[in-house]
Amino acid sequence: MGRLSLLGPAVRRLLAHWSSERATLRQGTTALTICITVTLFAGIILGEMEGVLADTPGLLVLVPSAIGMRGAIFGALGARLGTGMLTGQFTTDLRRGSFTADNVEAALLVSLSTAVLTAGLAWGASAVFGLDVVDVFQLVIVSSVGAVLSSLVVLVVTLLLARTAQARSWDMDAIGTPVISATADISTLPALLLGVLLLGSPVVHIAFGLILIAAAAAATIYGLRHPSALARRIVRESAPVLGYAAVMGVLAGTVLETRLDTLIADPALLVAIPPFIAASGALGGILSARLSSQLHIGLLQPARVPDRRAALEGSMTGLLGLIGFTVVGLATAAGAAAFAIGAPPTLQLTAAIVTGGLLSTAVVFVVAFYAATASYRFGLDPDTSSIPIVTSSIDFLGILCLVIGISVVGLG
């Protein structure tokens, strides 16, 4: 009875917080559902890519990093634009030197430079772990073509979303990352496939690869010395964070590559990967963006231990996670059935995804809170730093959580 009396006020506070944030929960659920639905098609594409994955060794090592990098870069862009709305800096003006234009230019510069970085890391990780892999110039071509094409698509969606959010008074923090992550997933895989199709003779791909490496080096140098203080700060603060993101994505891809035979034998698990990772990253992005905005405006203090405000934000993430991962499980089963992709029983598949998803949600809260507060303590912009840290960490840790969920219910 005593425990219930202690629990009662906590439950009441929890329900009161959820009630006060009904709009955010509604918008977040809608955006998360869109994210999962769109990335399901990316999963179906991945499930149908088993032949390409087998014929292009090392490609699966690159895939999570390539997808995750788009989400990290443009999720951070969306968060900065969202904060700009709160602080009155955001405008639809794209003339050079404006707040929005500087943010966009910085995002494009780091997109090009990190494409070559992820290719090099994917090639190196494959070599270190004794995995078959195409040569590094081929991976540079695939990664760079995928980055350029998908970045243009994601950029357009991000800017349209920001303009619409401002016009309709939507919460950019709640809707930005899920929609951006979904767009990144659905655009990056086809772009990577196009990059694979462009691979030609050794002389051609070596020459093309060297040109792309030079372009990435030039983009990096220009970004670090950019005439705009804002763009220069974004590039400089993004560099170590995106380097970490690239490493985490490649580690996630390495885990998948080592299980390629299992995934090809049961391709419904391939279908589940993009929506699962997208949902995990979207949840982390929502939480990171909200924590970052609250740090900016003084509603949240960078404490060493999550306070009541942070815990309430985490409870919203948990609720969205339960809903989201249930949808991922059911949608994966439905998508696999619709496209005649081999799959285990729906209940078993959904149980594996929800189990892994709830574990991933707990990891998301810990990583998001400490990434946002640590960035703020060190004088960095948490919008630029925390979202890439969270989404890239979840690229790797989310894959591990999914593997654990699969093992717990006896799949794989």
Place 122 in a pLDDT band, splitting at 50, 70 and 90: very high
Place 339 in a pLDDT band, splitting at 50, 70 and 90: confident
Whole-number average pLDDT of the chain: 83
* Range with the poorest average pLDDT among 38-42, 56-60, 95-99, 381-385: 381-385
Give the model's pLDDT for residue 385: 65
Give the model's pLDDT for residue 8: 66
Mean predicted confidence (pLDDT) in 188-202: 84
* Range with the poorest average pLDDT among 65-69, 92-96, 163-167, 212-216: 92-96
Predicted TM-score (pTM) of the model is 0.73
Give the model's pLDDT for residue 4: 43
Could you give phi then psi for residue 225, rounded to 5 degrees?
-115, 25
Place 325 in a pLDDT band, splitting at 50, 70 and 90: very high
Distance CA 405, CA 354 (A): 8
Mean predicted confidence (pLDDT) in 153-169: 88
41, 44, 112, 172, 401 from 149: Cα distances, Å: 18, 20, 11, 24, 30
Give the model's pLDDT for residue 1: 45
Place 412 in a pLDDT band, splitting at 50, 70 and 90: low
Mean predicted confidence (pLDDT) in 70-80: 84
Mean predicted confidence (pLDDT) in 66-79: 84
Distance CA 140, CA 145 (A): 8
Cα-Cα-Cα-Cα torsion 60, 65, 69, 70, nearest 10 degrees, comes to: 10
Q: Report residue 47 as tokens.
A: 């499930």
pLDDT digits 0-9 by tens, 240-296: 888 888 898 898 888 888 877 777 777 788 888 888 987 887 788 778 777 777 776
Mean predicted confidence (pLDDT) in 323-346: 87
Which ranges of 266-307 does DSSP label H, i.e. alpha helix? Answer: 268-297
Domain ranges of the chain: 24-408
Directed axis angle between helix 202-224 and helix 99-128, to 10°? Answer: 130
pLDDT at 211 over 90: yes
CB atoms within 10 A of CB 374: 15
Q: What percent of the chain has pLDDT over 70?
A: 91
Mean predicted confidence (pLDDT) in 19-42: 78
- The amino acid at residue 2 is G
Residue 86's contacts (CB-CB under 8 Å, 6 or more residues apart) are 293, 296, 297
Give the model's pLDDT for residue 173: 65
Nearest to 293 by CA among 218, 230, 376: 376
* Residue, of 96 and 109, whose pLDDT is higher: 109
- Is the CB of residue 285 less than 8 Å from the CB of residue 79? yes
Mean predicted confidence (pLDDT) in 218-237: 92
